[in-house]
Structure 1
Amino acid sequence: MAKALLIVDIQNDFTEGGALGVDGGDRVAEEVTRFVDTHADDYDAVIASRDWHDADSDNGGHFSQNPDFIDSWPVHCVADTEGAEYDPLLTTDAITHHVRKGQGTPDYSAFQGMTDAGEHLGDLLAELTITEVDVVGIATDHCVCATVLDALKNGLSVRVLQDLIAGVGKDSSTLALAEMDAAGATIA
Protein backbone atom coordinates (compact mmCIF):
# COMPACT_ATOMS: atom_id res chain seq x y z
CA MET A 1 0.00 0.00 0.00
CA ALA A 2 1.49 3.29 -1.12
CA LYS A 3 1.06 6.51 0.81
CA ALA A 4 1.15 10.20 -0.16
CA LEU A 5 1.31 13.49 1.67
CA LEU A 6 -1.05 16.12 0.24
CA ILE A 7 0.00 19.70 1.02
CA VAL A 8 -2.98 21.98 0.34
CA ASP A 9 -2.58 25.62 -0.71
CA ILE A 10 0.23 26.91 1.51
CA GLN A 11 0.51 30.08 -0.57
CA ASN A 12 1.36 33.71 0.07
CA ASP A 13 -2.23 34.90 -0.37
CA PHE A 14 -3.41 32.44 2.31
CA THR A 15 -0.76 33.21 4.93
CA GLU A 16 -0.41 36.33 7.05
CA GLY A 17 -0.31 39.50 4.97
CA GLY A 18 -1.90 37.83 1.92
CA ALA A 19 -5.13 38.75 0.15
CA LEU A 20 -6.97 36.12 2.23
CA GLY A 21 -4.41 35.56 4.97
CA VAL A 22 -5.29 32.97 7.61
CA ASP A 23 -4.03 33.35 11.17
CA GLY A 24 -1.46 30.63 11.71
CA GLY A 25 -0.68 30.23 8.01
CA ASP A 26 3.02 31.00 8.41
CA ARG A 27 3.17 28.61 11.38
CA VAL A 28 1.67 25.88 9.21
CA ALA A 29 4.24 26.58 6.47
CA GLU A 30 7.10 26.26 8.98
CA GLU A 31 5.67 23.17 10.69
CA VAL A 32 4.96 21.39 7.39
CA THR A 33 8.55 22.10 6.33
CA ARG A 34 9.82 20.55 9.58
CA PHE A 35 7.47 17.60 9.17
CA VAL A 36 8.55 16.95 5.58
CA ASP A 37 12.23 17.28 6.56
CA THR A 38 11.83 14.42 9.03
CA HIS A 39 9.08 12.32 7.39
CA ALA A 40 9.48 12.60 3.58
CA ASP A 41 10.78 9.01 3.44
CA ASP A 42 7.47 7.82 4.95
CA TYR A 43 5.72 8.76 1.69
CA ASP A 44 5.81 7.43 -1.85
CA ALA A 45 4.80 10.89 -3.11
CA VAL A 46 4.63 14.41 -1.69
CA ILE A 47 2.05 16.41 -3.65
CA ALA A 48 1.31 20.10 -3.21
CA SER A 49 -1.69 21.99 -4.57
CA ARG A 50 -2.06 25.69 -5.31
CA ASP A 51 -4.95 27.92 -6.24
CA TRP A 52 -3.95 29.24 -9.66
CA HIS A 53 -6.70 31.54 -10.85
CA ASP A 54 -6.97 33.25 -14.22
CA ALA A 55 -6.21 36.98 -14.15
CA ASP A 56 -8.65 37.93 -16.89
CA SER A 57 -11.90 36.44 -15.54
CA ASP A 58 -14.01 36.08 -12.42
CA ASN A 59 -13.08 32.37 -12.44
CA GLY A 60 -16.65 31.12 -12.63
CA GLY A 61 -17.93 33.65 -10.10
CA HIS A 62 -15.17 32.86 -7.60
CA PHE A 63 -13.90 36.48 -7.68
CA SER A 64 -16.29 39.26 -6.76
CA GLN A 65 -16.22 43.01 -6.09
CA ASN A 66 -18.71 42.25 -3.28
CA PRO A 67 -17.64 38.83 -1.98
CA ASP A 68 -19.82 36.85 0.38
CA PHE A 69 -16.78 34.89 1.71
CA ILE A 70 -18.73 31.65 1.19
CA ASP A 71 -18.92 31.19 -2.57
CA SER A 72 -17.22 34.38 -3.75
CA TRP A 73 -13.97 35.98 -2.68
CA PRO A 74 -11.73 38.98 -3.30
CA VAL A 75 -9.09 38.49 -5.99
CA HIS A 76 -6.42 36.05 -4.76
CA CYS A 77 -3.82 33.56 -6.03
CA VAL A 78 -3.76 34.91 -9.56
CA ALA A 79 -1.55 32.75 -11.80
CA ASP A 80 2.08 33.82 -12.00
CA THR A 81 1.81 36.41 -9.20
CA GLU A 82 3.58 36.54 -5.86
CA GLY A 83 0.29 35.76 -4.09
CA ALA A 84 -0.03 32.44 -5.93
CA GLU A 85 3.50 31.30 -5.04
CA TYR A 86 4.19 28.96 -2.16
CA ASP A 87 4.80 30.69 1.15
CA PRO A 88 8.59 31.16 1.44
CA LEU A 89 8.54 29.35 4.80
CA LEU A 90 7.47 26.17 3.00
CA THR A 91 10.45 24.31 1.62
CA THR A 92 9.41 22.64 -1.63
CA ASP A 93 12.46 20.46 -2.35
CA ALA A 94 10.73 17.20 -1.38
CA ILE A 95 7.56 17.89 -3.38
CA THR A 96 7.31 15.28 -6.12
CA HIS A 97 4.22 16.66 -7.91
CA HIS A 98 2.58 20.09 -8.15
CA VAL A 99 -1.16 20.51 -8.75
CA ARG A 100 -2.85 23.75 -9.87
CA LYS A 101 -6.57 24.32 -9.42
CA GLY A 102 -9.10 27.03 -10.06
CA GLN A 103 -8.02 28.03 -13.55
CA GLY A 104 -11.23 29.73 -14.65
CA THR A 105 -13.36 27.75 -12.22
CA PRO A 106 -14.22 28.05 -8.50
CA ASP A 107 -12.28 24.97 -7.37
CA TYR A 108 -11.61 24.15 -3.74
CA SER A 109 -10.46 20.53 -3.76
CA ALA A 110 -7.00 19.56 -4.97
CA PHE A 111 -8.81 16.74 -6.80
CA GLN A 112 -10.22 19.38 -9.15
CA GLY A 113 -6.70 20.39 -10.14
CA MET A 114 -4.14 19.11 -12.59
CA THR A 115 -0.41 18.58 -12.64
CA ASP A 116 1.86 20.52 -14.98
CA ALA A 117 1.61 17.50 -17.30
CA GLY A 118 -2.19 17.84 -17.41
CA GLU A 119 -3.00 14.87 -15.19
CA HIS A 120 -5.83 15.07 -12.63
CA LEU A 121 -4.83 14.38 -9.04
CA GLY A 122 -7.07 11.31 -8.75
CA ASP A 123 -5.51 9.80 -11.87
CA LEU A 124 -2.01 10.55 -10.60
CA LEU A 125 -2.72 8.86 -7.26
CA ALA A 126 -4.16 5.81 -9.04
CA GLU A 127 -1.12 5.63 -11.32
CA LEU A 128 1.15 5.75 -8.26
CA THR A 129 -1.03 3.07 -6.56
CA ILE A 130 -1.61 5.41 -3.61
CA THR A 131 -4.19 4.05 -1.16
CA GLU A 132 -3.51 6.28 1.85
CA VAL A 133 -3.07 10.05 2.13
CA ASP A 134 -2.15 12.40 4.92
CA VAL A 135 -3.52 15.91 4.39
CA VAL A 136 -2.06 19.19 5.68
CA GLY A 137 -2.41 22.85 4.72
CA ILE A 138 -4.76 25.80 4.41
CA ALA A 139 -7.67 26.37 4.96
CA THR A 140 -9.21 23.73 7.17
CA ASP A 141 -12.74 24.96 6.55
CA HIS A 142 -12.46 25.29 2.78
CA CYS A 143 -9.80 23.69 0.58
CA VAL A 144 -8.49 21.18 3.14
CA CYS A 145 -12.02 19.94 3.87
CA ALA A 146 -12.95 19.73 0.17
CA THR A 147 -9.73 17.82 -0.60
CA VAL A 148 -10.29 15.37 2.26
CA LEU A 149 -13.90 14.69 1.25
CA ASP A 150 -12.86 14.08 -2.37
CA ALA A 151 -10.04 11.79 -1.27
CA LEU A 152 -12.57 9.73 0.67
CA LYS A 153 -14.92 9.66 -2.35
CA ASN A 154 -11.97 8.32 -4.35
CA GLY A 155 -11.70 5.39 -1.93
CA LEU A 156 -8.55 6.53 -0.17
CA SER A 157 -7.76 6.12 3.49
CA VAL A 158 -7.36 9.68 4.79
CA ARG A 159 -5.64 11.10 7.83
CA VAL A 160 -5.80 14.85 8.60
CA LEU A 161 -2.76 16.03 10.56
CA GLN A 162 -4.52 18.52 12.81
CA ASP A 163 -1.34 20.27 14.00
CA LEU A 164 -0.45 21.07 10.38
CA ILE A 165 -3.61 22.88 9.26
CA ALA A 166 -5.06 26.37 9.74
CA GLY A 167 -8.58 27.59 9.09
CA VAL A 168 -10.36 30.81 8.31
CA GLY A 169 -12.62 30.69 11.37
CA LYS A 170 -12.56 28.76 14.63
CA ASP A 171 -16.20 27.65 14.50
CA SER A 172 -16.16 26.84 10.78
CA SER A 173 -12.92 24.87 11.21
CA THR A 174 -14.42 22.88 14.09
CA LEU A 175 -17.44 22.08 11.90
CA ALA A 176 -15.18 21.11 8.99
CA LEU A 177 -13.16 18.75 11.20
CA ALA A 178 -16.40 17.16 12.42
CA GLU A 179 -17.60 16.78 8.81
CA MET A 180 -14.31 15.16 7.75
CA ASP A 181 -14.42 12.82 10.76
CA ALA A 182 -18.06 11.85 10.07
CA ALA A 183 -17.18 11.12 6.44
CA GLY A 184 -14.48 8.66 7.53
CA ALA A 185 -11.24 10.62 7.82
CA THR A 186 -8.97 10.09 10.80
CA ILE A 187 -8.22 13.34 12.61
CA ALA A 188 -4.73 12.84 14.02
Structure 2
Amino acid sequence: MSRALLIVDVQNDFCEGGSLAVAGGAELAGEISEYLDAHHGQFDHVVATQDWHIDPGTHFSEEPDFEDSWPRHCVAGTRGAELHPNLDPEYIQAYFRKGQFAAAYSGFEGLLAPEDDVPTGDRKAGAMPVSGAGTASGTEETGDSFAAMEDAIGLDDWLQSHDVEDIVVVGIATDHCVKATALDAIQAGYSVTVLRSLTVGIADDLDDAVAEMELGGVDVT
Protein backbone atom coordinates (compact mmCIF):
# COMPACT_ATOMS: atom_id res chain seq x y z
CA MET A 1 0.00 0.00 0.00
CA SER A 2 1.25 3.49 -0.88
CA ARG A 3 0.36 6.78 0.76
CA ALA A 4 -0.03 10.07 -1.11
CA LEU A 5 -0.25 13.72 -0.13
CA LEU A 6 -2.66 15.60 -2.39
CA ILE A 7 -2.19 19.39 -2.50
CA VAL A 8 -5.34 21.06 -3.82
CA ASP A 9 -5.25 24.33 -5.82
CA VAL A 10 -2.60 26.33 -3.97
CA GLN A 11 -2.50 28.84 -6.81
CA ASN A 12 -1.86 32.57 -7.11
CA ASP A 13 -5.46 33.47 -7.92
CA PHE A 14 -6.65 31.77 -4.73
CA CYS A 15 -4.14 33.60 -2.54
CA GLU A 16 -3.90 37.22 -1.49
CA GLY A 17 -3.59 39.48 -4.52
CA GLY A 18 -5.34 36.96 -6.78
CA SER A 19 -8.66 37.39 -8.55
CA LEU A 20 -10.47 34.98 -6.21
CA ALA A 21 -8.35 35.24 -3.08
CA VAL A 22 -9.03 33.17 0.02
CA ALA A 23 -7.81 34.76 3.25
CA GLY A 24 -4.70 32.99 4.51
CA GLY A 25 -3.87 31.34 1.19
CA ALA A 26 -0.33 32.70 0.89
CA GLU A 27 0.50 31.78 4.48
CA LEU A 28 -0.97 28.33 3.94
CA ALA A 29 1.30 27.78 0.91
CA GLY A 30 4.33 28.34 3.13
CA GLU A 31 2.92 26.12 5.88
CA ILE A 32 2.42 23.26 3.42
CA SER A 33 6.04 23.67 2.29
CA GLU A 34 7.20 23.49 5.90
CA TYR A 35 5.03 20.43 6.48
CA LEU A 36 6.51 18.74 3.42
CA ASP A 37 10.06 19.50 4.55
CA ALA A 38 9.34 17.85 7.89
CA HIS A 39 7.09 14.98 6.79
CA HIS A 40 7.81 14.11 3.14
CA GLY A 41 9.28 10.80 4.26
CA GLN A 42 5.82 9.74 5.44
CA PHE A 43 4.51 9.81 1.88
CA ASP A 44 5.33 7.63 -1.10
CA HIS A 45 3.94 10.22 -3.51
CA VAL A 46 3.08 13.92 -3.53
CA VAL A 47 0.77 15.35 -6.20
CA ALA A 48 -0.96 18.68 -6.74
CA THR A 49 -4.09 19.86 -8.52
CA GLN A 50 -4.64 23.12 -10.39
CA ASP A 51 -7.70 24.90 -11.66
CA TRP A 52 -6.80 25.35 -15.33
CA HIS A 53 -9.57 27.16 -17.16
CA ILE A 54 -9.62 27.61 -20.93
CA ASP A 55 -13.30 28.14 -21.73
CA PRO A 56 -15.35 26.99 -18.71
CA GLY A 57 -18.63 28.52 -19.88
CA THR A 58 -20.95 29.81 -17.15
CA HIS A 59 -18.37 29.00 -14.46
CA PHE A 60 -17.07 32.53 -15.19
CA SER A 61 -19.43 35.46 -14.76
CA GLU A 62 -19.29 39.24 -14.65
CA GLU A 63 -21.98 39.01 -11.96
CA PRO A 64 -20.97 35.86 -10.04
CA ASP A 65 -23.16 34.30 -7.38
CA PHE A 66 -20.13 32.69 -5.70
CA GLU A 67 -21.95 29.35 -5.67
CA ASP A 68 -22.17 28.23 -9.29
CA SER A 69 -20.43 31.17 -10.97
CA TRP A 70 -17.24 33.03 -10.10
CA PRO A 71 -15.00 35.87 -11.28
CA ARG A 72 -12.41 34.88 -13.90
CA HIS A 73 -9.63 32.95 -12.21
CA CYS A 74 -6.84 30.47 -12.93
CA VAL A 75 -6.94 31.00 -16.68
CA ALA A 76 -4.69 28.41 -18.32
CA GLY A 77 -1.14 29.59 -18.84
CA THR A 78 -1.48 32.78 -16.78
CA ARG A 79 0.34 33.72 -13.61
CA GLY A 80 -2.93 33.35 -11.69
CA ALA A 81 -3.03 29.64 -12.51
CA GLU A 82 0.51 29.00 -11.27
CA LEU A 83 1.30 27.53 -7.90
CA HIS A 84 1.88 30.21 -5.29
CA PRO A 85 5.63 30.88 -4.95
CA ASN A 86 5.47 30.06 -1.22
CA LEU A 87 4.68 26.47 -2.16
CA ASP A 88 7.96 24.68 -2.83
CA PRO A 89 7.45 22.20 -5.72
CA GLU A 90 10.52 20.12 -4.82
CA TYR A 91 8.61 17.02 -3.70
CA ILE A 92 5.66 17.25 -6.11
CA GLN A 93 5.76 14.42 -8.64
CA ALA A 94 2.70 15.13 -10.77
CA TYR A 95 0.19 17.90 -11.48
CA PHE A 96 -3.47 17.38 -12.37
CA ARG A 97 -5.37 20.17 -14.11
CA LYS A 98 -9.13 20.52 -13.98
CA GLY A 99 -11.89 22.71 -15.33
CA GLN A 100 -10.56 23.34 -18.83
CA PHE A 101 -13.99 23.52 -20.47
CA ALA A 102 -16.47 23.27 -17.59
CA ALA A 103 -16.65 23.86 -13.87
CA ALA A 104 -14.61 21.31 -11.91
CA TYR A 105 -14.14 21.28 -8.17
CA SER A 106 -12.77 17.82 -7.47
CA GLY A 107 -9.17 16.92 -8.19
CA PHE A 108 -10.54 13.63 -9.51
CA GLU A 109 -11.77 15.57 -12.53
CA GLY A 110 -8.17 16.59 -13.24
CA LEU A 111 -5.87 15.32 -15.97
CA LEU A 112 -2.13 14.79 -15.78
CA ALA A 113 -0.14 17.78 -17.03
CA PRO A 114 2.73 17.22 -19.49
CA GLU A 115 6.11 16.91 -17.78
CA ASP A 116 7.55 19.79 -19.81
CA ASP A 117 4.75 22.14 -18.75
CA VAL A 118 5.03 22.12 -14.96
CA PRO A 119 7.24 23.94 -12.44
CA THR A 120 10.41 22.15 -11.35
CA GLY A 121 12.94 23.31 -8.78
CA ASP A 122 13.38 27.03 -8.18
CA ARG A 123 11.23 29.20 -10.39
CA LYS A 124 10.11 32.79 -10.62
CA ALA A 125 6.47 33.86 -10.59
CA GLY A 126 5.15 34.19 -14.11
CA ALA A 127 7.52 31.59 -15.51
CA MET A 128 5.06 28.81 -16.32
CA PRO A 129 4.68 28.02 -20.03
CA VAL A 130 1.45 29.04 -21.71
CA SER A 131 0.77 25.98 -23.84
CA GLY A 132 -2.88 25.03 -24.09
CA ALA A 133 -4.05 28.50 -23.15
CA GLY A 134 -6.69 28.97 -25.84
CA THR A 135 -9.60 31.10 -24.71
CA ALA A 136 -12.52 30.33 -26.97
CA SER A 137 -14.10 27.28 -28.54
CA GLY A 138 -13.20 26.69 -32.11
CA THR A 139 -9.70 28.11 -31.88
CA GLU A 140 -6.76 25.99 -32.93
CA GLU A 141 -5.42 26.10 -29.37
CA THR A 142 -8.71 24.87 -27.90
CA GLY A 143 -8.92 22.07 -30.47
CA ASP A 144 -5.40 21.00 -29.57
CA SER A 145 -6.32 21.06 -25.90
CA PHE A 146 -9.32 18.79 -26.48
CA ALA A 147 -7.08 16.35 -28.35
CA ALA A 148 -4.54 16.38 -25.55
CA MET A 149 -7.25 15.74 -22.95
CA GLU A 150 -8.36 12.59 -24.75
CA ASP A 151 -4.92 11.08 -24.20
CA ALA A 152 -4.33 12.41 -20.68
CA ILE A 153 -4.28 10.33 -17.52
CA GLY A 154 -6.77 11.08 -14.76
CA LEU A 155 -5.89 11.40 -11.08
CA ASP A 156 -7.61 8.14 -10.09
CA ASP A 157 -5.79 6.20 -12.82
CA TRP A 158 -2.45 7.67 -11.73
CA LEU A 159 -3.03 6.87 -8.06
CA GLN A 160 -4.08 3.31 -8.85
CA SER A 161 -1.06 2.78 -11.08
CA HIS A 162 1.12 3.80 -8.12
CA ASP A 163 -0.73 1.47 -5.71
CA VAL A 164 -2.01 4.36 -3.59
CA GLU A 165 -4.68 3.43 -1.05
CA ASP A 166 -4.30 6.15 1.56
CA ILE A 167 -4.64 9.86 0.71
CA VAL A 168 -4.00 12.95 2.85
CA VAL A 169 -5.56 16.14 1.47
CA VAL A 170 -4.47 19.75 2.08
CA GLY A 171 -5.02 23.02 0.23
CA ILE A 172 -7.65 25.53 -0.93
CA ALA A 173 -10.57 25.83 -0.33
CA THR A 174 -11.81 23.70 2.55
CA ASP A 175 -15.47 24.16 1.66
CA HIS A 176 -15.15 23.76 -2.10
CA CYS A 177 -12.33 21.96 -3.93
CA VAL A 178 -10.81 20.31 -0.85
CA LYS A 179 -14.22 18.97 0.18
CA ALA A 180 -15.12 17.82 -3.34
CA THR A 181 -11.75 16.10 -3.79
CA ALA A 182 -11.91 14.34 -0.43
CA LEU A 183 -15.45 13.07 -0.98
CA ASP A 184 -14.64 11.86 -4.49
CA ALA A 185 -11.60 10.05 -3.10
CA ILE A 186 -13.86 8.23 -0.64
CA GLN A 187 -16.21 7.28 -3.47
CA ALA A 188 -13.24 5.96 -5.43
CA GLY A 189 -12.34 3.64 -2.55
CA TYR A 190 -9.43 5.44 -0.88
CA SER A 191 -8.86 5.99 2.81
CA VAL A 192 -8.91 9.78 3.16
CA THR A 193 -7.67 12.24 5.77
CA VAL A 194 -8.02 16.02 5.53
CA LEU A 195 -5.58 18.03 7.62
CA ARG A 196 -7.85 20.92 8.59
CA SER A 197 -4.95 23.04 9.84
CA LEU A 198 -3.44 22.85 6.35
CA THR A 199 -6.57 24.08 4.55
CA VAL A 200 -8.26 27.46 4.32
CA GLY A 201 -11.88 28.07 3.37
CA ILE A 202 -14.07 30.71 1.81
CA ALA A 203 -16.85 30.68 4.40
CA ASP A 204 -16.31 32.14 7.85
CA ASP A 205 -17.89 29.03 9.39
CA LEU A 206 -16.52 25.77 8.01
CA ASP A 207 -18.37 23.45 10.39
CA ASP A 208 -20.91 22.41 7.75
CA ALA A 209 -18.17 21.53 5.25
CA VAL A 210 -16.30 19.54 7.88
CA ALA A 211 -19.48 17.74 8.94
CA GLU A 212 -20.28 16.85 5.32
CA MET A 213 -16.81 15.39 4.83
CA GLU A 214 -16.98 13.40 8.07
CA LEU A 215 -20.45 12.11 7.20
CA GLY A 216 -19.05 10.98 3.87
CA GLY A 217 -16.30 8.97 5.58
CA VAL A 218 -13.41 11.46 5.56
CA ASP A 219 -11.21 11.68 8.64
CA VAL A 220 -10.84 15.41 9.35
CA THR A 221 -8.06 16.03 11.85
Q: Structure 2 length normalisation: TM-score?
A: 0.82
Letter in 2 for 1:176: A
Structure 1 Cα separation of the partners of residues 22 and 49 of structure 2: 17
Structure 1 Cα separation of the partners of residues 41 and 93 of structure 2: 12
Structure 2 Cα separation of the partners of residues 187 and 116 of structure 1: 29
Q: Which position in structure 2 is the counterpart of 1:180?
A: 213
Instruction: Please say if 1:131 is aligned against 2:152.
Output: no
Q: How does 1:63-142 map to 2 (within 5 A)?
A: 63-117=60-114, 118-142=152-176
Q: Which position in structure 2 is the counterpart of 1:18?
A: 18
Q: CA deviation at 1:60?
A: 3.2
How big is each residue's C-alpha offset from its partner over 1:30-52, in whole Å with a ceiling of 9 and x where there is no partner? Answer: 11000111111111110000000
Percentage of pairs with the same residue:
48
Between stretches 146-155 and 114-123, larger displacement belongs to: 114-123
Computing the radius of gyration from Cα coordinates, the structure with the larger value is: 2
Unaligned segments of structure 2, at least 5 residues: 115-151
Structure 1 Cα separation of the partners of residues 51 and 80 of structure 2: 10
Q: Which runs of 4+ in 1 moved over 6 A?
A: none
CA RMSD of aligned residues (A): 0.8
Q: CA deviation at 1:186?
A: 0.7
Q: Which position in structure 2 is the counterpart of 1:37?
A: 37
Q: Figure out how many residues of one structure are paired with residues of the other and give that number.
A: 184
How big is each residue's C-alpha offset from its partner over 1:91-110, in whole Å with a ceiling of 9 and x where there is no partner? Answer: 00100111101101100000
Q: How does 1:140-159 map to 2 (within 5 A)?
A: 140-159=174-193
Unaligned segments of structure 1, at least 5 residues: none
